[in-house]
Amino acid sequence: MKYKNPLPKRIGLVADSHDQLDALARAVSILEQRGAESLVHLGDICDSLRLDLLEDSVRLLRKHRMLVVKGNNDFMLENLLRCQPPEEKNRYDHLAAFLAELPMRIVWDGVCFAHSLPFDHLRSFYEPIDMGSTQRAEEIFRLTTHRILFCGHSHRSVLFRLSGDKVSRESLPEAEPIALDRQERYIIVTGSVLEKECAIFDVESWSVENIRIPQD
């Protein structure tokens, strides 16, 4: 999916909420308080076996008009819904339609949002970019032209930077905005809601900040 309009001034990022509705709601509240004009969920709304919590998750996403890309667990739930017995199928039709319509990636003014790899095939859901090295990041930089790729899946925050022909892997400290160089390219893996992390991308200052979600 591609958007032609310019990026908003601030974008809130969440990933891998895996049924943690309270933590997701707190993340949304923090990001909106921090001035996020748009919110993007980087996939894995629920766990693949928790069909009972999907309704509430979708309701929360729709309430905040969140953009969502499809994660591997979302894909598994989509297939699970297709296999429901006839007497249950009508009950879940609207949820099945929601999951079926989720894009595998969103490209917006040169910035890409995906669950993991920024491609349109099943491998994209399951293979993490961060393997403790720069190997897969180097491959993605070579195969794509995005200025920044935001993704999740790994459940831990990390930044890959392409400067010239050198790729580096860097940590993302909490509550410390990281200024990005507009002449460089980046892959930014957002920490998971499950691990009480979210992030905000400030388009005006071209910076990203890893944010800790407070406990109850």
Q: What is the pTM of this model?
A: 0.95
* List of domains in the chain: 2-212 (3.60.21.10)
Per-residue pLDDT of the chain in tens (216 residues, 90 and over written 9): 788 788 999 999 999 999 899 999 999 999 999 999 999 999 999 887 777 788 899 999 999 999 999 999 999 888 888 877 776 667 778 888 999 999 999 999 999 999 999 998 888 989 999 999 999 999 999 999 999 999 999 999 999 999 999 999 999 998 899 999 999 999 999 999 999 999 999 999 999 999 999 887
Alpha-carbon distance 105 to 119, whole Å? 7
Kindly state the helix (H) or strand (E) to which residue 3 belongs, with its residue range. strand 2-3
